[in-house]
């Protein structure tokens, strides 16, 4: 149940600032929650429960945002272990994630890791909008991780979200498919900005390619694609372009340009194929 006074339709953008997060209704009973322009989360409302996909970085308190939108119990899932998707887990008691994500999330759920993460990027201008940045950097919390595998169904009552295991960006990345409402939540598996398949957390490009083909096979089950950052939703042309782009790289026909170096010293190469772009490393081919 969506609260009557939670969301007032004001204009065509239908956006509202709640607790410092920018919230936008993006589909039927689906709300995108934007954390300081860096991370996107999605709250999907069923008849009996609501599902929060990802918890952002943990600046402010996204749990309070969800409570302002709905009275229903909230089920929380991490699309993968990255800290801009699992950093807000500390606000909740139970988190669902792919079984491969458990060790990663456990390892990164420490004060030391949290401070290191934020201090590494404290100069990002987006953070200037967060008055509690340094306070939140030190917050900790404990939560239970409940692992699942491919095919797991989140039944929200009148609405079902199905787990599609899509390793590539990480070895624990998932997408969530709402067949009835024809929505696919790809998070970092497919964004309008470059998908990162280049550091120690990523799989080989061939694995990512197979995940993309899996999404392509399901193409007649969704219309809108919701990524984990920036533009949302995106069209399925991004998926088609990414498939072709990865084919170009893997066949050796095309090569990206050296773009960045990771903390662990791995060079990332940027390659763009029409709308889709990727940063990959040579050791992932």
Comparing CB distances to Fe ion, the nearer of 136 and 188 is 188
Please tell me whether residue 229 binds Fe ion under the rule CB under 5 A: no
Please tell me whether residue 82 binds Fe ion under the rule CB under 5 A: yes
Smallest separation, CB 142 to Fe ion (Å): 23
* Contact string (CB under 5 A) for Fe ion, positions 145-184, x = contact: ----------------------------------------
**Cα→Cα distances 216→144, 222, 270, Å:** 33, 10, 23
User: Which residues are registered as beta bridge partners of 204?
Assistant: none
Comparing CB distances to Fe ion, the nearer of 108 and 188 is 188
Cα–Cα dist 228/86, whole Å = 12
Comparing CB distances to Fe ion, the nearer of 25 and 195 is 195
Smallest separation, CB 38 to Fe ion (Å): 11
Close Cβ partners of 244 (under 8 Å, ≥ 6 residues apart): 273, 274, 276
Please tell me whether residue 188 binds Fe ion under the rule CB under 5 A: yes
Comparing CB distances to Fe ion, the nearer of 34 and 188 is 188
Cα–Cα dist 152/160, whole Å = 10
User: Which residues are registered as beta bridge partners of 16?
Assistant: 23
Please tell me whether residue 98 binds Fe ion under the rule CB under 5 A: no
HSE toward the beta carbon, residue 78, CA cutoff 13 A? 35
Cα–Cα dist 42/60, whole Å = 16
Please tell me whether residue 81 binds Fe ion under the rule CB under 5 A: no
Comparing CB distances to Fe ion, the nearer of 82 and 98 is 82
Measured in degrees and rounded to the nearest 5, phi and psi for residue 259 equal -125, -40
Total residues contacting Fe ion by CB under 5 A comes to 2
Query: Can you give the binding site for Fe ion, defined by CB under 5 A?
Result: 82, 188
């Amino acid at each position: 149940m969506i609260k009557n006074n939670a969301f007032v339709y004001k204009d065509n953008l239908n956006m509202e600032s709640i607790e410092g997060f920018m919230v936008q209704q993006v589909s039927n009973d689906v709300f995108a929650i934007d954390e300081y322009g860096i991370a996107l989360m999605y709250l999907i409302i069923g008849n009996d429960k609501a599902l929060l996909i990802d918890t952002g970085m943990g600046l402010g308190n996204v749990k309070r945002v969800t409570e302002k939108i709905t009275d229903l119990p909230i089920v929380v899932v991490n699309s993968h272990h990255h800290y801009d998707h699992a950093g807000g887990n500390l606000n909740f008691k139970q988190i669902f994630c792919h079984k491969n994500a458990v060790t990663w999330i456990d390892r990164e759920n420490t004060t030391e890791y949290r401070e290191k993460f934020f201090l590494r990027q404290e100069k990002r201008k987006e953070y200037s909008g967060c008055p509690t940045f340094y306070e939140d950097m030190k917050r900790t919390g404990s939560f239970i991780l409940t692992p699942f595998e491919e095919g797991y169904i989140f039944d929200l009552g009148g609405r079902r979200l199905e787990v599609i295991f899509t390793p590539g960006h990480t070895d624990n990345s998932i997408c969530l498919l709402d067949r009835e409402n024809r929505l696919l939540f790809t998070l970092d598996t497919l964004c309008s900005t470059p998908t990162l398949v280049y550091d120690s957390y990523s799989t080989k490009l061939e694995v990512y390619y197979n995940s993309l083909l899996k999404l392509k096979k399901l193409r007649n089950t969704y219309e809108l694609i919701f990524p984990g950052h920036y533009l949302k939703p995106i069209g399925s042309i991004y998926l088609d372009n990414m498939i072709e782009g990865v084919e170009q790289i893997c066949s050796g026909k095309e090569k990206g340009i050296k773009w960045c170096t990771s903390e662990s010293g791995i060079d990332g190469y940027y390659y763009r194929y029409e709308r889709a772009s990727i940063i990959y490393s040579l050791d992932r081919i």
